[in-house]
Structure 1
Amino acid sequence: MLDLATKTHNEERQGEAYAPFANDVNEYKKRFYIESYGCQMNFSDSEIVASILNNEGFGATRNFEEADLVLLNTCSIREKAEQTVRKRLTEFRKVKEARPGMLVGVLGCMAERLKAKLLEEEKLVDLVVGPDAYRTLPLLIEEAETGQKAVNVLLSREETYADISPIRLDSNGVTAFVSIMRGCNNMCSFCVVPFTRGRERSRDAHSIIAEAEDLFSRGFKEVTLLGQNVDSYYWIDEANDETVTFAKLLEKVALVSPDLRVRFSTSHPKDITEEVLTTMAKYENICKYIHLPVQSGNTRVLQLMNRTYTREWYMAKVDQIRRILPDCGISSDMIAGFCSETEEEHKDTLSIMEHSQYDFSYMFFYSERPGTLAARRYADDIPEDVKKRRLQEIVELQNKLSLDSNQRDIGKTFKVLIEGESKRSETDWKGRNSQNKMIVFPKTEGSDLKKGDYVWVKVTECTQATLLGYTL
């Protein structure tokens, strides 16, 4: 689908690999190492996998060279991500040659599409496990330990992992992901998610509330509700004769405690309702931030993408958000150079960015993903140099919009949740405001502030990606 990802938001984890750890790996029979690539859902899934492995006597390690089991939780949404995973698997294979007992596995979205190549042709892995088959990992590991290739990429219409308590990997102890649904019913022509993650199914609302309550009781101060399209969350509570929509779920989580912040991602523009917006306005602890992917600013291209809205409709939705939530932060996704896109249609994307005044965006140029509707229906006919030039124009405009947005915040005061020390200086704190902007501010001598505290910060300066200020 996409390539050459560019982002302007500071300190995001998306697209990066990370390794979990155990406090004392010696207490476990075996060690596992996991890296995640792609979206927040993949990071959340890795926490489910860690819980399953932990129950089987595996402890996590940061060093893959000492692991008995090495796992890559993969992403198929961009060609670049797949290339990164292949390179990483090649590195693991070299270590495995010196440690024959080591098992290497691929999880997630690349599993179904590339299982044959990874297992047989390239012999890079010992097991391949799809997003709905993580419960079978213990059996698959046993099978792989006998020398057999172990595979389970079956998709499910029911699996939500609602009863599994995730192990928070590399957690800051302040913020956590909570998965509320799996799969996607939107057949965007550029996207592989419906084929790799299956159809939508919503998680039991009671289990979501219980997880949020547990996190808050353990000191977490912020949860992000995750789904490929959270606004289509729908669950029927038969015991109480209640239909739980996303707006109602948001309210239920917000009521866990006024000191627990609630975020969510991602919204499909066609599904975010006025009820969601008014619920956000009603509760101070529901963050005033919406990720609202536009993909293109041109109606014809949007129709080719099967986005099911027009340019004018999207702009009206942004206007509605601004009317109900005047201080709401909005971010987006954009694709440059989709099939048959003209220069004028590209300019429509630039103009919708100006209208929407995004605080930051994830920006890519289009690359065809096998198996998608676009790959079957349309010619990938925009030259790569044109795609890259259009992407650069989008990036340059977003950089300007991001700086303008941050400059408008100078002089304002925000409630900030301290997430930890700044990466650049141990004498500074970092944290985000309700609008999802990172704010860095000096530690005050003699102050008893600590990670997980809320503090009011006045903004005095900014960069394109970060606000700078001081505590009041």
Structure 2
Amino acid sequence: MNKGPENKKEIHVSEEEIAKQYQYMNSIKEANAQCEMQTGRKKLAFLQSFGCQMNENDSERLWGMLSEMGYGEGKNSEESDVIIFNTCCVRENAEEKVYGHLGALKKQKMDNQEKIIAICGCMMQQGHVVEHIKKKYRHVDIVFGTHNLYRFPELLNKAVNTRSAVIDVDESAGSIVEGLPIERKDSIKAWVTVMYGCNNFCSYCIVPYVRGRERSRSIEDIVDEIAELGQNNFMEVTLLGQNVNSYGKDFAGNVSFAELLSEINKVEGIERIRFMTSHPKDLTEDIILAMRDSKKVCEHLHLPIQAGSTRILSEMNRKYTKEDYLNLIGRIKEKIPGISLTTDIIVGYPGETEEDFEETLDVLRKVRFDFAYTFLYSRRTGTPAAKSEDQVSEKVKKSRFERLLGVQNKISKEINDTLLGTTEEILVEGLSKNSIWNYTGRTRTNKIVNFKGSKELVGKLVKVKITDIQTWSLEGEVISW
């Protein structure tokens, strides 16, 4: 079995470079320990992550490095010595939130010049954003991007010792980094990135420009990481990539995502496997069969359609038609009966007519998604769609958005209604956010279920009878574990 690319040395950050970063981590750790001895106070860090699950996984790597350097976790920015914003640029409102938070930190920096403010992530891979921060937010100490996250210890060391701004954004196509520490914020479920970047260049999307070209981790490295999770009592892994179905296409040999799923299915200790995100044009028959035949792969698929109109899909550069998508869904349902399906939909893409929008509603009714993540089109500088003069008005976008929610919410409730009285296997995740008595978990089909329980159930697979139905969640009672 070919487990990795022939050009591993070219796309992987060297072991020597990672060793150098550990030296910086040790140096800062020693300085922090000495400071704690003198002041009686441990150095604290505050990290806020915006955006997708890959950003969350990146933040876990940052926390791993921070912990290695001796930082504790601050409850807020005020009490923390290091503040990091890990940013997203997929939608405008995420960027505006970041700018708002940065502005609020200006007084904190004036009051404490030793406080270090860092900003990283996808936003920083855009030149105009970096220039904006340099001009308007001069209290920011460190700016770095997605491709050189591994160099954070070196950048922090430089900022602390020179007391000058450090801007380091790698504009290459990206690389793969192994061997960094990681501190996971969940002890039951884990994110595992299997590939980075995207080659699709959908006309509305900034991701290929900020995350780089597709780069797959080796099967060996992925399986080793997941095996360690299994040994540490993690029950579920979610495989991450901008387009996981393209996994292995950058390798010299014949390695596929279907093969990866089959290998992970053999890992002891792990009971559930999920993955996201899939691209319809790359979801091949062997992946469908691997999902069906790998008992640990959950019966849930997130398959973004983005729009129901073939004309709009062509404008989006999605490389499939409405009919292609519906045929694919038909094959999936035939091979995996009872599978739950979720999707992403963009409302108000430039040039979208009422007829185009009706095609999207038609897809909702025909596919009957369990849930749809719906977004108003957001103009992204640097993408082809942003240059279109045929922008849909905010009023029309919001009206269509509400109509779409009305159709989808009804479908979601009808699907959930069919589960009343059934018994479902639930992975118990912990206390519900809104209760000190109710616990929460998910079915294999990714339905949220709330029920009365006790802390010894956390991390276990239990049988729960569904007793009540909500649009977004289910209520139940534990019958066995």
Match of 1:214 among 228, 245, 260: 228
Matched, 1:357 2:368: yes
| Secondary structure of the corresponding residue to residue 65 of structure 1 | coil
Q: Contact 1:221 / 1:261 at 8 angstroms: preserved in 2?
A: yes
**Contact 2:109–2:139 (CA under 8 A) maintained in structure 1:** no
String of CA shifts for 1:260-307, please: whole Å, max 9, x gaps: 211001001111111111111112211111111111000000011000
Structure 1 length normalisation: TM-score?
Answer: 0.89
Moved more, 268-277 or 58-67: 58-67
Deviations 1:240-275 (A, max 9, x none): xx6331111111111102752110010011111111
Tell me how far apart the structure 2 counterparts of residues 380 and 60 of structure 1 sit (CA, whole Å). 47
The question of 1:140 aligning with 2:155 is answered: yes
Query: Is residue 119–residue 149 contact of structure 1 (8 Å, CA) maintained in 2?
Result: no
Aligned to 2:432: 422
TM-aligned CA distance change 1:411 to 1:419, over 3 Å: same
Contact 1:127 1:140 in 2 (8 A): yes
CA 1:156–1:425 in 2, change beyond 3 Å: closer, same or farther?
same
Residue 213 of structure 2: SS of its match in structure 1? coil
Q: For 1:419-458, what aligned pairs fall within 5 Å after superposition?
A: 419-443=429-453, 449-458=456-465
Picking from 415, 420, 436, the partner of 1:405 is 415
CA positional deviation for 1:235:
6.8
The match for 2:18 is none
Give the match for residue 106 of structure 2: 93
SS at match of 2:281: coil
Q: 1:399 to 1:140 in 2, by over 3 A?
A: same
- d(CA) in 1 for partners of 2:379 and 2:390? 7
| Partner-residue secondary structure (3-state), 1:471 | strand
Matches of 1:305 and 1:327, distance apart in 2: 30
Instruction: Tell me whether 1:80 sits opposite 2:93 in the alignment.
Output: yes
Q: 1:57 to 1:422 in 2, by over 3 A?
A: closer
2:196 paired with 1:167: no
Q: Structure 1 residues 176, 322: closer, same or farther in 2, change over 3 A?
A: same
Aligned length: 440
Query: Cα offset for 1:456?
Result: 1.2
Q: Say what the alpha-carbon RMSD is for the aligned residues.
A: 2.1
Unaligned runs of at least 5 residues, structure 1: 1-23
Indicate which of 311, 318, 332 corresponds to 1:307. 318
Deviations 1:354-407 (A, max 9, x none): 11111111111112110012123x225211100110111111212111111111
CA deviations 1:416-447 (Å, max 9, x no partner) are 11111222323222110111111112227xxx
Taking the aligned partners of 1:433 and 1:137, their CA distance within structure 2 comes to 38
1:137 is displaced (CA, Å) by: 1.4
Distance in structure 2 (CA, Å) of the matches to 1:449 and 1:117? 50
Answer yes or no: is the 8 Å Cα contact 1:184–1:194 preserved in 2. Answer: yes
Q: Which amino acid aligns with 2:168?
A: N
Find the residue that maps to 1:364 and give its secondary structure.
strand
> Cα 1:419–1:438, aligned 2, differ >3 Å: closer, same or farther?
same
Greater relative CO (CA pairs within 8 A, separation 6+):
1
Distance 1:442 1:386, change over 3 A: same
Residue 6 of structure 1: aligned partner: none
Contact 1:236/1:244 (<8 A) preserved: no
Q: 1:109 aligns with which of 92, 117, 122?
A: 122
Closer/same/farther in 2, CA of residues 79 and 236 from structure 1, 3 Å limit: closer
Distance 2:44 2:52 in 1: 25
Task: Name the counterpart of 1:192.
Answer: 206
Residue 155 of structure 1 and its aligned partner are, at CA, apart by: 3.8
- Which is greater in Rg? 2
2:402 to 384, 392, 408: 392
Cα separation, partners in 2 of 1:160 and 1:62, compared to 1, 3 Å: farther
Question: For residues 8-407 of structure 1, what are the structure 2 equivalents within 5 Å?
Answer: 30-113=43-126, 114-145=129-160, 146-157=162-173, 159-169=175-185, 171=186, 173-234=187-248, 243-257=254-268, 259-376=270-387, 378-407=388-417
TM-score by length of 2: 0.87
Say if 1:459 and 1:467, in contact at 8 Å, map to a contact too: yes
CA distance in structure 2 between the aligned counterparts of 1:269 and 1:298, rounded to whole angstroms:
15
1:203-254 Cα deviation digits (max 9, x unpaired): 121111111111111111001000000110007889xxx6331111111111
Give percent identity, aligned residues only: 37
Tell me if structure 2 keeps the 8 A contact 1:119–1:126: no
Structure 1 residues 454 and 66: CA distance shift in structure 2, 3 A: same
Counterpart contact for 1:236–1:243, Cα < 8 Å: no
Over residues 97-142 of structure 1, what are the superposed CA-to-partner deviations in whole Å (9 max), with x where a residue is unaligned? 2111111111101112211111223325221110111122122223
- 8 Å CA contact retained: 2:308, 2:362: yes
| AA at the equivalent of 2:62 | V
Cα pair distance change 1:138/1:259, threshold 3 Å: closer
Report the AA paired with residue 403 of structure 1.
Answer: K
Q: Mind listing any 5+ residue stretches in structure 2 that lack a counterpart?
A: 1-31
Deviation at 1:156, TM superposition (A): 4.2
d(CA) in 1 for partners of 2:335 and 2:99?
Answer: 46
